[in-house]
Structure 1
Amino acid sequence: MPFSWSARTTQTISAAAMSALLLVSARKHFQQPKFFAPVVPDYLCREDYAGEDTELDVGQVRAKATAPRNGALAVMSREEWIAVSGLLEAAAAVGLLIPPTRKAAACGVTLMFTAFLAGHVDALRRAYSAAGTPSARRIHTLRLPLQVPLILWAWSLAGAKRAA
Structure 2
Amino acid sequence: MEYVSLGLKILMSAMLLFAGFYHFYKPKFYNPIIPNFLPKLAVTYVSGLVELMLGIGLFIKGYESISAYGIFILMLVFLPIHIWDATREKPAMKTKKIAYIRILIQFLLIAWAWYLYQNDLT
- Distance of 1:14 and 1:160 partners within structure 2: 11
Is the aligned partner of 1:98 residue 2:92? Answer: no
Q: Deviations for 1:54-104, whole angstroms, at most 9, x for unmatched residues?
A: xxxxxxxxxxxxxxxxxxxxxxx1111011000000000010112321100
User: Residues 123 and 140 of structure 1 are in contact (CA less than 8 Å); yes or no, is this contact kept in structure 2?
Assistant: yes
Q: Letter of the 2:16 partner, please give it.
A: L
Is the aligned partner of 1:21 residue 2:15? Answer: yes
Superposed, 1:1-164 pairs within 5 Å as 7=2, 9-43=3-37, 45=38, 77-126=39-88, 129=89, 132=90, 135-159=94-118
Measured after TM superposition, the shift of residue 40 of structure 1 is: 1.8
Off by >4 Å, runs of 4+ in structure 1: none
Measured after TM superposition, the shift of residue 153 of structure 1 is: 0.6
- CA-based RMSD of the aligned residues comes to 2.2
Residue 74 of structure 1 corresponds to none
- Distance of 2:102 and 2:35 partners within structure 1: 15
Measured after TM superposition, the shift of residue 118 of structure 1 is: 1.0
Measured after TM superposition, the shift of residue 141 of structure 1 is: 2.4
Q: Letter of the 2:70 partner, please give it.
A: G
Q: TM-score, normalised by structure 1?
A: 0.65
- Distance of 2:95 and 2:28 partners within structure 1: 14
Measured after TM superposition, the shift of residue 160 of structure 1 is: 6.1
Q: Cα 1:136–1:33, aligned 2, differ >3 Å: closer, same or farther?
A: farther
Which structure would you say has the larger Rg? 1
Secondary structure of 1:99's counterpart equals: coil
Q: Letter of the 1:157 partner, please give it.
A: L
Secondary structure of 2:118's counterpart equals: coil
Structure 1: give runs of 5+ residues left out of the alignment: 46-76
User: Residues 41 and 118 of structure 1 are in contact (CA less than 8 Å); yes or no, is this contact kept in structure 2?
Assistant: no
